[in-house]
Every structure is written in C-alpha cells, then in structure tokens.
Amino acid sequence: MILKYGTYSHATNEATIQIAKEPVYSARGYRLGTLERWNVQGVLHADDAAALTTALDALEDAYQTQGKDLVLQTDASVDTQHKIATADTVGGVKVMHFGYPTGDGAEYTTYRTYEIELEALRNDGETVLYLEYEESFQTIGTGGPRRILVELLTEPPVEQTINNYTIIRVIQQGRAVGLAGHPPIPSPIYPGAVGSHDNMVSVETPRMTNRSSQREYPISWAYQMELASAPLPYVYLPTAF
C-alpha cells in the first residue's frame, strides 16, 4: 500500500496507518460532521546518512503545508476507500504532530523512524440553519392608566390619573450563528410598530478556519415596538429553532 499526502508519496508499505472517526455535534445537538484522525508510523530508509538527510528533508517539507489531500492507494496507485479530499472538509487536512519517537540503536544510519498525526473535519453533517439561536422579549407597560402622586404642602399626597391609556413597549432582541453563511435575520413580531430609529441589526465577521475557510457567521438584532393596545398573547414566546 502507498500513502500519499498531496504530491508526496511514501514508499510502498513504508507506513502503518491507524484511522479513527467520531461524529462532532454542536451545543444544540446538531451533527456538524465527522472528525477523522490518522496516525501514521513508518521507517524511512536510505543508502547512508547523507541520503537519509535528503529524504527526511523531503518528508518534512511535504508535511509542513496544511490542507493537502490524503489518500491510501494500492500498489497499482488506485485510491482506496481510505482518503480525505480537502474539498470535502471544513478547513482542510491539518498536520497535528510530526516527530521521531525512536532515537536508539542504529537510528539515522540508513533508516529513521517517524510518526505523523493528521486530522480533518469531514463536511458530512446536517444542514444547520442556526448553529446557535437565542431570542428574548421584554414587555414594558400594560396599556392601562398612568397615575401619579402629587405632593401637597400640608396634606398627604394626592393620587391623580393623567392618562387613561398608555403606550405598551415591546423589546425583541436576539443573536444567532449560521454554520455556512449568515442566516436570515428574524423580523420584528409587529413590523408596523417599529420606529424609524428603533431597529438595530448587526452582521458580524465570520470565524476563520485554516486561514482561507470561513465558518460560523454571527448576526444579532434588536427591535423596540410601541403599541396602542395589548395584543394577544400578551406574554410573547421567543421562536425556537
């Protein structure tokens, strides 16, 4: 079998490979993909120490670059089922560890033992509109009378009704994170009751993965609405996704 990382090919049957796969879930229980880890152990051979140095330089140079395709091929250079194409991942294949675990015996005479760990998050999870979602409603006032207490000079305060009806204010605000792009921004529950200066929407910078890939797109919103009467239901329940 032949292991390839990008354009670099290990010698036939040089590497021993262990593969582990585990699903990755969001805090809300959505399956985001599969985290696949490869542990590669092998022995690089050469005619002498100088040739071994050259071969090790080529090996290290190959694994210094992230985001290359990883594939195990047959001796006839045919891809097997064990492969990770960067295009099918979130952020590409990542080299997590490179080292030489053995230093005794005749190491670095005509051979050198190496160990490499790679991982990638396969983009095979659920289609998630909202990776995170939270919303709240705050109701201020009931629409009933406004009463005040007027302090007098020599008598106890006098209660007066100055308005038989008052404004009901509803504040709707929330925040959400989209997985692959900025998700739709929820509309105010009473669009016609939002003042011209009472509408705030924020679209934030997405999180970068592996420099060139973007994932997790945050948005937030806040609306203040003014109503002349109390609609039903009077207690508003946030939308759950």
pLDDT tens-digit map of 7-60:
999 999 999 999 999 999 887 788 888 999 999 999 999 999 999 999 999 999
Whether residues 6 and 109 fall in one domain: yes
Whether residues 41 and 89 fall in one domain: yes
pLDDT in tens, 144-184: 899 999 999 999 999 999 999 999 999 999 999 988 788 88
pTM strictly above 0.75: no
Say how far apart CA 77 and CA 69 lie, in whole Å: 15
Give residue 90's domain range: 2-122
Say how far apart CA 36 and CA 70 lie, in whole Å: 11
Number of domains in the chain: 2
Question: Does residue 233 lie in a domain region?
Answer: no
Long-range contacts of 70-79 (CB under 8 A, 24+ apart): 70/3, 70/4, 70/5, 70/38, 70/118, 70/120, 71/3, 71/4, 72/1, 72/2, 72/3, 72/4, 72/17, 73/1, 73/2, 73/3, 73/4, 74/1, 74/2, 75/1, 75/2, 75/12, 77/2
pLDDT in tens, 126-135: 777 788 889 9
Domain final residue pick, 56, 87, 122: 122
Position 29 scores a pLDDT of: 83
Say how far apart CA 131 and CA 218 lie, in whole Å: 9
Contact 90, 209 (CB under 8 A): yes
Whether residues 138 and 168 fall in one domain: yes
**What residues have CB less than 8 Å from 50, skipping those under 6 apart?**
none
Whether residues 171 and 219 fall in one domain: yes
132-140 and 31-45 strand pairing: unpaired
Please give the C-alpha separations between residue 114 and each of 17, 52, 56, 57, 108, in angstroms, as whole numbers: 12, 12, 9, 12, 11
111-122 and 31-45 strand pairing: antiparallel
pLDDT at 239 over 70: no
Contact 111, 46 (CB under 8 A): yes
Residue 152: other Cβ atoms inside 10 A? 9
Residue count (the chain): 241
Domain final residue pick, 122, 140, 169: 122
Position 126 scores a pLDDT of: 76
Say how far apart CA 65 and CA 118 lie, in whole Å: 12
